Each structure stands twice: as structure tokens, then as C-alpha cells.
Amino acid sequence: MRKVQLGAITLQYTNAEAAVGTLQAGADIVLGPQNFVEAFDAVVKAVEDGVLTEQRIDQSVRRILKLKKEIGR
């Protein structure tokens, strides 16, 4: 099976910018970052710097857990 990556975002933004921007735009999960560690570190730094709030991350976690409970996972 061949893995297909969509590159439109990464042509415009770094991996770190894309990860943080995804969450700023309201997504709950950053899917398929090119470099997971870089994306994770950028999100942590964004929270530390106040670009993203812990409350924003907590909202996503609650929605994800709620959905997992609803589908029995």
C-alpha cells in the first residue's frame, strides 16, 4: 500500500506552523504531520507562549473522549 501525502499546506507552512495553525483553526487532531516530534514540540511551545491555551487543548481532548465513548472505544 502506498502512503499518499497531501502537500498543499506544507508548501506554504513549516510542519510546526501547520500543526499549530490546524489547532488554531479549530481542528481537534493534527493528522499525519510530516514530522510528529516537530509538530508536537511546536504545539507544546505554542501553549507555553500563550499562542494556544490549555483550555483550547482541553476542549479538543473532551470532544475526542466523548466521541470515543459514543462509539465504544
Residue scoring higher pLDDT (25 or 7): 25
pLDDT tens by residue, 8-55:
777 889 999 999 999 999 999 998 888 999 999 999 999 999 999 999
Phi, psi for 38 (deg, rounded to 5): -60, -45
Residue scoring higher pLDDT (50 or 4): 50
User: Cβ–Cβ contacts within 10 Å for residue 35, how many?
Assistant: 13
Surface-to-core class of residue 60, CB atoms within 10 Å of its CB (0-12 exposed, 13-18 middle, 19+ buried)? middle
In whole angstroms, give the CA distance from residue 23 to residue 42. Answer: 11
pTM for this prediction: 0.81
